[in-house]
Amino acid sequence: MISHGKDIKVFSGNANPKLAEEICKLMGTKLGESEVGTFSDGEIFVSLYETVRGSDVFVVQSTCTPVNNNLMELLIMIDALKRASAGRITAVIPYFGYARQDRKAKARDPITAKLVANMIVAAGADRVLTMDLHAAQIQGFFDIPVDNLAGNPIFVDYYAKKFGADCENMVVVSPDVGSVARARAFAQKLHMNLAIVDKRRQRANQCEVMNVIGDVEGKDCILFDDLVDTAGSLCNAAQALMEVGHAKSVHACASHGVLSGPAIERLNNSAIKELALLDTIPAIDLSKSEKVKYLPVAPMFAEAIERIYQEISISKLFR
């Protein structure tokens, strides 16, 4: 098999070292020796403790909370690898922060997702491997190849095993109009019907649910979204399904569990029976909520990394 660089090396920042270790375990390799820390004034430093000259290097780092620290760690690690003559550098970003700032929603808004893309390219990354970008067009913000893995095959497998023959009485629900295309693709794979919760957002992190489009009466619903932040939209959608749509039950799933602010409290008090998340972002303390369940993404990322290294197609991971 053709491979790029003399060998493969995987490094991790402090965002999600557990995921990086699981990826390495599945690949049969060890995590690269490095240190990423901060000086007393808060400046980040990076030290690489093994040679990377000519190597095909993968840096695993989600830009989740603390977003700016994790982003700077990624940029500085890429720069360190570039200056150490790495053969090729792939930024593996399971969760890409700032992705919601992908357009000008009003006058004089920045497009921060494009700025972050420019910074990653300027630091010296040769390609990006990520999962479920909030907006697919962010791939076009980079002037380097971007592989945007889809998390829905993991959820399809999970729910097919969980509900089996009971799928006939189930409906996939998009919590807002913006997520319809994503939810439709998921519903088609599970051979389920689609419904939409139409909402009107009043201001940031607050929304007002209006109505339910589609038949959910007496049905078991799966709310499907790409990320859960403060969980306001998701919990309001679940309430609308039960009260307005007269649904039988509500499950929910999302690729990225940001779970900031009042998210856990809202989830615990909501009509949602279970929230399935991928572990692109480190797991919360599960004692805080019995409703949260994490599904592993390490197998998909490990296979994608090996395929990129061997210069073979990764398209099968999207099916």
Question: Would you name the residues annotated as active-site residues?
Answer: 199
Which residue shows structure tokens 């390609």?
Answer: 127
Tell me the CA end-to-end span of the chain in Å, nearest whole number: 23
Instruction: Tell me how far apart the alpha carbons of residues 232 and 296 are, in angstroms, rounded to a whole number.
Output: 25
Instruction: Tell me how far apart the alpha carbons of residues 49 and 30 are, in angstroms, rounded to a whole number.
Output: 13
Instruction: Tell me how far apart the alpha carbons of residues 30 and 53 are, in angstroms, rounded to a whole number.
Output: 17
Strands 44-48 and 34-38: antiparallel
Instruction: Please count the CA atoms within 13 angstroms of the CA of 288 that sit on its side-chain side.
Output: 10
Residue 104's CB is within 10 A of a number of other CB atoms, namely 10
